[in-house]
């Protein structure tokens, strides 16, 4: 893609602001950059940097804040863009017409290109829910992203609306991107009294009064209100950092509950992460010659995959067995246990100050020898976890062949 810019009025400031989309390298993610501040600080579009959810979603880091992120993020997420630098010359992007359409069109103008790197998706294995004060959000397992939303108001001109969409670029552009933000007249008047929404007008929001819609132009969709709620939720879901595969059902939710739900999803979904040897040594107490994990290939909520590259230089091959070297079975079990220990330590506070003790090993079976040149892949799944005590099912593989398996009970103690 090429850099593209857009200028327009800021919703809160009422001043002329500009935004520029700049291409970014693979694995960068989406980053907002405040080019108006000294040092041009960056704020990653991730859930850990959320600073506010009043009327909109704000993020910030190191004194740099970006307000009203959801429309920009919805356009980026809805069009399937993973890596992007968003330059801003203010604390908010231009409001446009109150929808993400201008940002989606800007991305199309820039040209969205494949970077030759497979997309990494977040997935859920079982339902996740949040129910608080009449608001409900659910995430159900799915092979793609779908959002279903129900809104309900006690207002004579707007009672309830429902919409459900599979989220893909074509659907986003035609069915969701044009949907504008909205508010009730008394809400707008209250915000004006607080010296907010100074740039708000009937050109960038649908305003609903006691007698009906105040805008001179008609609605773009009969259910434009709920469609915009889908847009807002999509923008908040973008803060997970990677695309999500799930069916999201929302009832009467807004930014505050959306963000609470995204935080819960962050804890629950299968987040795949890789850790190199330096990160392993930071967490694990083991060292040569007993450290038997070279890399953590995947780390999820209740699952871990660890790699051990087996070479002829391993100290145990000197005596096991000379002329016929095979990896001792107890060390295959130890490699699985260490990978499981890494998983367990990531579930507790201050992991550097803790150590994992194996209290029981059960159901161990060895399927075939492990030899120099093999890459041992340990896969551990947590079956039970309570207050630092867990039961894990472990399997060790070489390529696609199962070489060992067993069940581990372990406990976390102070180091």
Residue matched to tokens 């550097």: 352
Q: Of the listed 129, 155, 320, 346, which one is catalytic? A: 320
> What one-character-per-residue DSSP string does 236-273 give?
HHGGGSS-EEEEEEEES--HHHHHHHHHHHHHHSB---
CB neighbours of 376 closer than 8 A, spacing ≥ 6?
A: 307, 308, 309, 310, 327, 332, 335, 370, 396, 397, 398, 403
* Integer-rounded Cα radius of gyration of the chain: 26
247 is catalytic: no
Rounded Cα gap, residues 399 and 81, in angstroms? 33
On the CB side of 22, CA atoms within 13 Å amount to: 13
Rounded Cα gap, residues 136 and 122, in angstroms? 21
Cα dihedral 279→283→288→290 (10° resolution): -130
Q: Are 28 and 83 in contact (CB under 8 A)?
A: yes
On the CB side of 399, CA atoms within 13 Å amount to: 6
Q: Of the listed 71, 228, 247, 255, which one is catalytic? A: 255
Rounded Cα gap, residues 173 and 403, in angstroms? 50
The sign of the CA dihedral 249, 255, 257, 261 is positive
Print the SS3 string covering 277-300.
HHHHHHHCCCCCCCCCCCEEEEEC
Q: Are 241 and 121 in contact (CB under 8 A)?
A: no
12 is catalytic: no
**Beta pairing, strands 303-309 & 375-386:** antiparallel
Rounded Cα gap, residues 197 and 207, in angstroms? 13
Least Cα distance to 81 among 125, 113, 129, 46 occurs for 113
Name the residues annotated as catalytic: 255, 320
């Amino acid at each position: 893609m090429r850099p593209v810019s857009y200028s327009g009025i800021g919703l809160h400031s009422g001043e002329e602001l500009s935004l520029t989309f700049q291409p970014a390298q693979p694995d960068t993610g989406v980053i907002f950059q405040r080019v108006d501040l000294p040092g041009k600080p960056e704020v990653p579009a991730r859930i850990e940097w959320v600073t506010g959810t009043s009327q909109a979603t704000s993020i910030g880091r190191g004194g740099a804040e970006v307000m009203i992120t959801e429309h920009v993020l919805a356009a980026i997420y809805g069009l399937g863009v993973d890596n992007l630098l968003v330059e801003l010359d203010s604390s908010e992007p231009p409001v446009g017409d109150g929808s993400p359409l201008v940002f989606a069109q800007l991305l199309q103008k820039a040209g969205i290109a494949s970077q030759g790197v497979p997309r990494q998706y977040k997935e859920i294995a079982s339902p996740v829910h949040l129910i608080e004060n009449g608001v409900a959000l659910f995430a159900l397992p799915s092979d793609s992203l779908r959002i279903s939303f129900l809104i309900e108001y006690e207002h004579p001109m707007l009672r309830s609306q429902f919409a459900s969409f599979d989220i893909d670029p074509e659907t986003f552009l035609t069915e969701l991107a044009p949907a504008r933000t909205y508010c009730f007249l008394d809400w707008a008047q209250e915000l004006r009294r607080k010296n907010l929404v100074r740039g708000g007008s009937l050109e960038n929001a649908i305003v609903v009064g006691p007698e009906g819609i105040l805008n001179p132009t008609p609605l773009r969709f009969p259910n434009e209100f709920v469609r915009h709620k889908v847009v807002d939720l999509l923008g908040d879901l973008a803060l997970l950092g990677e695309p999500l595969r799930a069916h999201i059902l929302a009832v009467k939710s807004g930014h505050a509950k959306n963000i609470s739900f995204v935080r819960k999803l962050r804890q629950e979904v299968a987040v795949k992460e890789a850790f190199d040897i330096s990160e392993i040594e930071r967490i694990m107490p083991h060292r040569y010659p007993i450290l038997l994990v070279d890399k953590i290939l995947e780390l999820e909520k209740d699952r871990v995959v660890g790699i051990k590259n087996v070479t002829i230089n391993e100290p145990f091959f000197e005596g096991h067995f000379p002329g016929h070297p095979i990896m001792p079975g107890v060390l295959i079990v130890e490699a699985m246990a260490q990978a499981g220990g890494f998983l367990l330590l990531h579930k507790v506070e201050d992991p550097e100050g803790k150590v994992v003790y194996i209290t029981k090993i059960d159901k161990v079976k060895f399927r075939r020898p492990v030899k120099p040149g093999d890459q041992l892949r340990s896969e551990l799944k947590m079956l039970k976890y309570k207050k630092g005590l867990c039961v894990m099912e472990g399997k060790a593989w070489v390529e696609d062949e199962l070489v060992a398996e067993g069940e581990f009970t372990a406990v976390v103690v102070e180091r």
